[in-house]
Structure 1
Amino acid sequence: MKKLLLLVALVAFTINAKAQIETPQPSPASKLEQKVGLTDVTLEYSRPGVRGRTIFGDLVPYGKLWRAGANKNTTVTFSDDVTIAGKTVSAGSYAIFITPSKTSWDVFFYTDTNNWGTPQNWDESKVAAKATVETHEVPFSVETFTIDVNQITNNGAALEFIWEKTYTAVPFSVPTGEKVSAAIDRVMNGPGANDYYAAAVYYLEEGKDINQAKQWIDKALSLVETPRFWQYRKQALIYAEAGDKKGAIEAAKKSLEGAKKAGNADYVKMNTDSLKAWGGL
């Protein structure tokens, strides 16, 4: 009887759990992803509505910190360092807070994004940037609070805020020029040490042209000021596969020496075993 009652209770609980009703949120969540130049910008925020209320100066008081939306923190994420109000803002995620007045807004980019609403204790050291921007009245009413990324160029854009009859924008710049110049230099100067190393290791592991792998690993190590023990280890294995036992022993000894200095017991053992097998010890 007890087992039967337990089974009935379990079934009732399961039915009740599945019967939960989902209703629309009053301030629905929104996510916007936008490429600006070569930088990814992601906005995540909740969007309250006017619903017949007076917003700025009433629901959102002038002179008081506002969370720029509803529910959890409104956040913006930059994949690269950007510049806001003349200040470099490192790549990462930031909460957006606003102190509005009738003619301008102070917009803060705050490093702590884990608040529900505004921070209980405001920490000025967490302000990555502050932009003071003018507000403009629009000749129509926007029902749903909106943040967008507009005015897009190769080198920047603006975070635009619009709600009720108020509009403002915070411009920011992105490092497109620096990234493109670096890419051009990298390509025009030819492959780097990492490229040669990766290609050589791939050829070794896939059983491809081992002589080509040997050329690439030599080139890779020649471009490194101080090759590391794991790089010498790959060179030793490639040389051994290519039938160059002398070169393999020489590279393995360098790898062994470096591994001992680094205290890496695994590489010490691997190199010791290889040197024994190749007649180097």
Structure 2
Amino acid sequence: MKKILLAICFLAASYVSEAQVTTPQPSPSSTITQTVGLTEVSVTFSRPSMRGRSVFGDLVPFDKVWRTGANANTIVKFEHDVKVGGSEVKAGAYALFTKPGKDSWEIILYNDTSNWGAPQEWDESKVVASVTSEIMELPFDVETFSIGFANLTNNGADLGIYWENTYVAMPFEVPTQELAMASIEKTLNGPGSRDYFSAAVYYLEEGQDLEKAKMWMDKALEGQEEPAYWMLRQKSLILAAMGDKKGAIETAKQSLAGAEKAGNADYVALNKKSLEEWGAN
């Protein structure tokens, strides 16, 4: 009986230690993603609600940097380089901060996303772009803080911020014309080096037609003044699979030399191992 009671107590203690209370978050997180032209843009943010409170000028003070949401930084990610307020913004992730005012807001992209809220020490050198947005007063209240995309065109959109009875926006431009023209030229000019390389590696890995894989790899290497060592590595494996040990060794030596010049220790080791397996001098 004593052993049974001890076992029950142990199980009960384990259950209590592992049990966790799950309740709704007061400011739930959200991620929205929008393709603008040919560029994917996403925003991850937390969404506080008014709950009867006065927001701008009270809960969120005027003329002070605000995290623009709740909890961790609101993060904006751009798939490609964009333009914001005339500034070039590289593809990547940025913290979105704002400085709400009575008549207008400053909307800021900051290249340090590690803060929890506004940085304790603001670093102006980390500001990659900022715009001033006039306030549009809404004819209704927005209970829960919201971010969305509006005025979409092939070449840009507005990143809109809505809360209480306020709407502000950060217009941005995307490089659709450049991306589209590059895609058209690539397609009309036929497969590129990377396409041939990918096809050749796929055929090698799947044990398909090795003659065709070699032909594609040769096309991938065609015209390169200094053949890419990672491509040469795959060509050496194709030649070895075809039974051309001499060609495989010669190609692996070229790949090894390129990898050593580039300082890529992984490819150096891979080539040395293959050369040893193939009986190279």
- Asked if Structure 1 and Structure 2 have the same fold, meaning a TM-score greater than 0.5 normalized by the shorter chain, the answer is yes
- For 2:78, the equivalent position in structure 1 comes to 78
Q: Kindly tell me: are residues 249 and 44 of structure 1, through their superposed partners in 2, closer, same or farther at Cα, counting changes over 3 Å? A: closer
- For 1:59, the equivalent position in structure 2 comes to 59
CA distance in structure 2 between the aligned counterparts of 1:95 and 1:25, rounded to whole angstroms? 22
Moved more, 102-111 or 45-54: 45-54
- For 2:111, the equivalent position in structure 1 comes to 111
What's the % identity of the aligned pairs? 53
Partner-residue secondary structure (3-state), 1:94: strand
Per-residue deviation at 1:129? Answer: 1.1
Alignment of 1:135-146 (within 5 A): 135-146=135-146
Q: What do residues 3-55 of structure 1 show as CA deviations (whole Å, max 9, x unaligned)?
A: 87875554333333465433323222222122222222222222222222222
Moved more, 125-134 or 19-28: 19-28
Q: Structure 1: 5+ residue runs without aligned partners?
A: none
CA distance in structure 1 between the aligned counterparts of 2:221 and 2:76, rounded to whole angstroms? 41
User: Which residue type is aligned with residue 13 of structure 1?
Assistant: A
Partner-residue secondary structure (3-state), 1:106: strand
Q: Is the contact between residue 49 and residue 144 of structure 1 (CA under 8 Å) also seen in structure 2?
A: yes
Q: What do residues 85-111 of structure 1 show as CA deviations (whole Å, max 9, x unaligned)?
A: 111112222222111111100111112
- For 1:161, the equivalent position in structure 2 comes to 161
Q: What do residues 236-268 of structure 1 show as CA deviations (whole Å, max 9, x unaligned)?
A: 454465566775565456446556766825424
CA distance in structure 2 between the aligned counterparts of 1:93 and 1:258, rounded to whole angstroms? 34
- For 2:278, the equivalent position in structure 1 comes to 274
User: Which residue type is aligned with residue 73 of structure 1?
Assistant: N
Moved more, 217-226 or 102-111: 217-226
Moved more, 17-26 or 188-197: 17-26
Q: What do residues 179-238 of structure 1 show as CA deviations (whole Å, max 9, x unaligned)?
A: 111111111111122222232233334333333233222222223221144534543454
CA distance in structure 2 between the aligned counterparts of 1:202 and 1:123, rounded to whole angstroms? 48
What's the C-alpha RMSD, in Å, of the aligned pairs?
2.9
CA distance in structure 1 between the aligned counterparts of 2:23 and 2:32, rounded to whole angstroms? 23
CA distance in structure 2 between the aligned counterparts of 1:20 and 1:159, rounded to whole angstroms? 38
- How many residues are paired up? 277
Q: Kindly tell me: are residues 106 and 215 of structure 1, through their superposed partners in 2, closer, same or farther at Cα, counting changes over 3 Å? A: same
Q: Kindly tell me: are residues 3 and 159 of structure 1, through their superposed partners in 2, closer, same or farther at Cα, counting changes over 3 Å? A: farther
- For 1:149, the equivalent position in structure 2 comes to 149
User: Which residue type is aligned with residue 267 of structure 1?
Assistant: N
Q: Kindly tell me: are residues 125 and 208 of structure 1, through their superposed partners in 2, closer, same or farther at Cα, counting changes over 3 Å? A: same
CA distance in structure 2 between the aligned counterparts of 1:144 and 1:85, rounded to whole angstroms? 27
- For 1:183, the equivalent position in structure 2 comes to 183
Per-residue deviation at 1:121? Answer: 0.8
What TM-score results when the alignment is normalised by the length of structure 2? 0.84
Q: Kindly tell me: are residues 94 and 64 of structure 1, through their superposed partners in 2, closer, same or farther at Cα, counting changes over 3 Å? A: same
Per-residue deviation at 1:171? Answer: 0.7
CA distance in structure 2 between the aligned counterparts of 1:229 and 1:48, rounded to whole angstroms? 52
* Larger Rg belongs to: 1
